[in-house]
A and B are shown apart, each in its own frame.
Chain A
Amino acid sequence: EVQLVESGGGLVKPGGSLRLSCAASGFTLSTYSMNWVRQAPGKGLEWVSSISSRTTYIYYGDSVKGRFTISRDNAKNSLYLQMNSLRAEDTAVYYCARDSEAAAGTGGHFSHWGQGTLVTVSS
């Protein structure tokens, strides 16, 4: 069974940093692209970042580019999101999602999602 478990969320002050992790199990992580999607309280889904299976291709949404860094460690079955210079508008539940394809940016779908981790940016 495919499982994705996010961790690392919490309360952080504006300008601070946080690193999210996503532990994958039930499949071979190195075979798939992975994604981060967030959802602010009471709002819709917003794509954050995608990384291809071998880290060849990385993409970021406009609102996080230059502040967030996606990475992965296939040997540890883990996906990461380093978030720097956090702002109040980054407050959201962050989901990791497995792509259906190895190559990011090919239009594959997000076949499996974790339950999310809440990030709150507030002073």
Chain B
Amino acid sequence: SYVLTQPPSVSVAPGKTARITCGGNNIGSNSVHWYQQQPGQAPVLVIYYDSDRPSGIPERFSGSNSGNTATLTISRVEAGDEADYYCQVWDSSSDHWVFGGGTKLTVL
């Protein structure tokens, strides 16, 4: 089955740039979606189809996807960005949705 690998944690100082990776075999050939989950809250879509941003999501959030790695980039990080982030792809070989294990973003 398809596996998505995320770092368990990423730390960044306020105002700096955070990059959260999502690794998978030839993930660049898949569409990747990203979700933010604040403690005790439901997930919220922050990036879809690799790099599109839903309305209401700040331009500070961006995404890219190539080769074996997709990346969620958060520029000018704020304290409110502290959350868990999950990547997601549809694995057409197994007809399964796959989530990465999640990355906890800590704002120092």
The answer to whether A and B interact is yes
Which residues of A approach B to under 8 Å, CB–CB?
35, 37, 44-47, 50, 59, 61-62, 95, 97, 100, 105-107, 109-111, 113-116
Contact B90 A110 (CB under 8 A): no
A-binding residues in B (CB < 8 A): 1, 30-31, 33, 35, 37, 42-45, 48-49, 54, 84, 86, 88-90, 92, 95-102
Q: Are A107 and B30 in contact (CB under 8 A)?
A: yes
**Nearest B residue (CB) for A59:** B95
Determine whether the beta carbon of A47 is less than 8 Å from that of B96.
Answer: yes
Q: Select from chain A the residue with minimum beta-carbon distance to B90.
A: A107
Contact A114 B33, beta carbon cutoff 8 Å: no
| CB atoms of A105 and B44 under 8 A apart | no
Total A-B residue pairs with C-beta atoms closer than 8 Å?
Answer: 61
Q: What residues of chain A lie closer than 8 Å to B48, measured between beta carbons?
A: 100, 109, 111
Given contacts A106-B90, A109-B33, contact A45 B43 (CB under 8 A): yes
> For B1, B31, B43, B84, which residue has the most chain A Cβ atoms within 10 angstroms?
B43
B42 touches A113 (CB 8 A): yes
A109-B48, A111-B54 given as contacts; is B98 within 8 A of A47 (CB)?
Answer: yes
CA distance A110 to B37 in the complex (A): 13
* Contact status B33-A110, CB under 8 Å: yes
Cross-chain contact A107 with B31 (CB below 8 angstroms): yes
